[in-house]
C-alpha cells in the first residue's frame, strides 16, 4: 500500500480527474497537467491557495471537517470517495484485517441457489466460496481464485468480458474501497503488490485513486459454452463478516440470457456428474 503523503497523492489524483468545465470554470486551452490547478481547487473550496498547497504537500496535517467537506465538494467526490478522504486526513483507523473464513450458514445459503451463479468474495477480491453455477460461469479462466488476478493476469479475461476496460476499472475501484475499510490488511497489500509488478494496466488504474464500492451493475460476458450472456449483478454485504460479499447474478426473465443461464445450469450439472464419476465421494462425504 502507499506510504508517505498518501493524502497528497489522493488529492492530486482526484483533481487531475476533474475538468474545468465540470465545475463551471472556463477552459483556457491545453494545460501542462490534466484536471484542475491547485489554485482552482482552493477557489472552489473557499480557502487560500497557500493553505491548500500545504495540505497537498503534507505540510498541513490538521484540516477541519469543514475544510475536508469543502474540498470534497470542489473535487466532486461521492460518498465513498469522501469517506476515504476523511480517513486519510483525520487518521481514522480502519479494521486491521478482513475475515476470510465463510460461515457454514452462508455456504448452505449459497449452495441452495441452484439456478443462479453465486459466490462469496473477500475484501481482497479473493473468491472464498462458489456454487456450481458460478464455477461454470468462470470456467474459462485458468484459476478461479481472485477477481483482480483473473482480470489483469489471465489472457482469457479479454475474451470473457465484453467491455474489459470497464470491468478492470470497476474492479480496481472496488479494491480501493476495500483498502479504505481495511488499510492494514496484509492480503490486500499482497494483491496490490503482485499486480503492481505484473500488470502495467493495473498500476495505471490504481494510481487514479478511484474509490468505487461495487454493489450492483449489469454485466456482459462471452462464455465459451453458452455464448453471449447479459446478467445483473448484486453484491450483498455479509454483516457478520465485514469485507465479505455474497455476489449473485440473475437474468431478465424471458430473455435470451435467461435461456443461456438455464444452459449454464445444465453444463454445471454435467460437470458435477463427470467429476463424481472420476472422483466418487466416499461414504458420508458431502457431494454438491
Using the predicted structure, report yes or no on whether residue 87 has a pLDDT greater than 90: no
Using the predicted structure, report yes or no on whether residue 98 has a pLDDT greater than 70: yes
Instruction: At 61, list the grid cell.
Output: 496535517
pLDDT computed for residue 205 by the predictor: 97
Task: Using alpha carbons, select from 120, 95, 125, 126 the residue that is nearest to residue 105.
Answer: 120
Using the predicted structure, report yes or no on whether residue 225 has a pLDDT greater than 90: yes
Q: In the chain, what are the domains?
A: 6-90 (1.10.260.40), 104-278 (3.30.450.180)
Using the predicted structure, report yes or no on whether residue 64 has a pLDDT greater than 50: yes
> Is-contact 244 185, C-beta < 8 A?
no
CA 38 vs CA 43, 48, 89, 96, 241: distances in Å? 9, 10, 17, 33, 40
User: How many percent of the chain have pLDDT more than 70?
Assistant: 92
Using the predicted structure, report yes or no on whether residue 233 has a pLDDT greater than 90: yes
What rounded mean pLDDT belongs to the chain?
Answer: 90
Sequence-ordered list of residues with C-beta below 8 angstroms from that of 282, at least 6 positions apart, any chain: none
Own/partner pairs for 44-53, CB < 8 Å, 24+ apart?
44/73, 44/74, 45/70, 45/71, 45/73, 45/74, 46/70
- Give the residue-averaged pLDDT of 170-198: 93
In whole angstroms, give the CA distance from residue 185 to residue 242: 12
At residue 91 the predicted structure's pLDDT band, cuts being 50, 70 and 90, is low
Residues 45-60 pLDDT 10s: 999 999 999 999 988 8
User: What SS3 state is found at 246?
Assistant: strand
Choose between 95 and 196: higher pLDDT.
196
Choose between 193 and 274: higher pLDDT.
193
In whole angstroms, give the CA distance from residue 74 to residue 47: 11
Using the predicted structure, report yes or no on whether residue 34 has a pLDDT greater than 90: no
Amino acid at each position: 500500500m502507499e506510504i508517505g503523503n498518501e493524502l497528497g497523492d489522493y488529492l492530486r489524483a482526484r483533481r487531475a480527474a476533474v475538468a474545468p468545465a465540470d465545475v463551471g470554470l472556463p477552459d483556457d486551452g491545453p494545460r501542462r497537467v490534466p484536471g484542475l490547478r491547485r489554485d482552482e481547487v482552493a477557489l472552489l473550496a473557499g480557502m487560500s491557495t497557500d493553505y491548500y498547497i500545504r495540505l497537498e504537500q503534507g505540510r498541513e496535517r490538521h484540516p477541519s471537517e469543514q475544510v475536508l467537506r469543502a474540498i470534497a465538494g470542489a473535487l466532486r467526490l461521492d460518498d465513498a470517495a469522501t469517506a476515504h478522504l476523511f480517513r486519510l486526513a483525520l487518521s481514522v483507523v480502519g479494521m486491521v484485517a478482513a475475515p476470510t473464513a465463510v460461515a457454514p450458514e452462508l455456504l448452505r445459503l449459497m449452495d441452495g441457489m441452484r439456478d443462479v451463479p453465486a459466490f462469496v468474495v473477500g475484501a481482497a477480491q479473493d473468491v472464498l466460496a462458489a456454487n456450481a453455477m458460478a464455477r461454470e460461469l468462470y470456467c474459462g479462466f485458468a484459476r478461479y481464485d481472485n477477481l483482480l488476478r483473473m482480470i489483469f493476469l489471465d489472457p482469457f479475461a479479454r475474451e470473457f468480458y465484453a467491455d474489459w476496460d470497464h470491468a478492470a476499472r470497476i474492479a480496481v475501484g472496488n479494491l480501493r474501497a476495500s483498502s479504505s475499510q481495511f488499510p492494514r490488511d496484509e492480503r490486500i497489500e499482497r494483491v496490490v503488490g503482485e499486480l503492481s509488478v505484473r500488470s502495467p494496466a493495473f498500476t495505471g488504474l490504481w494510481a487514479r485513486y478511484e474509490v468505487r464500492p461495487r454493489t450492483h451493475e449489469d454485466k456482459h460476458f462471452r462464455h465459451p459454452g453458452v455464448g453471449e450472456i447479459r446478467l445483473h449483478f448484486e453484491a450483498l454485504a455479509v454483516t457478520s463478516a465485514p469485507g465479505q460479499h455474497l455476489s449473485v447474478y440473475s437474468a431478465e426473465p424471458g430473455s435470451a440470457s435467461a435461456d443461456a443461464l438455464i444452459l449454464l445450469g445444465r453444463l454445471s450439472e454435467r460437470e458435477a456428474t463427470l467429476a463424481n464419476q472420476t472422483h466418487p465421494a466416499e461414504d458420508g462425504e458431502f457431494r454438491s
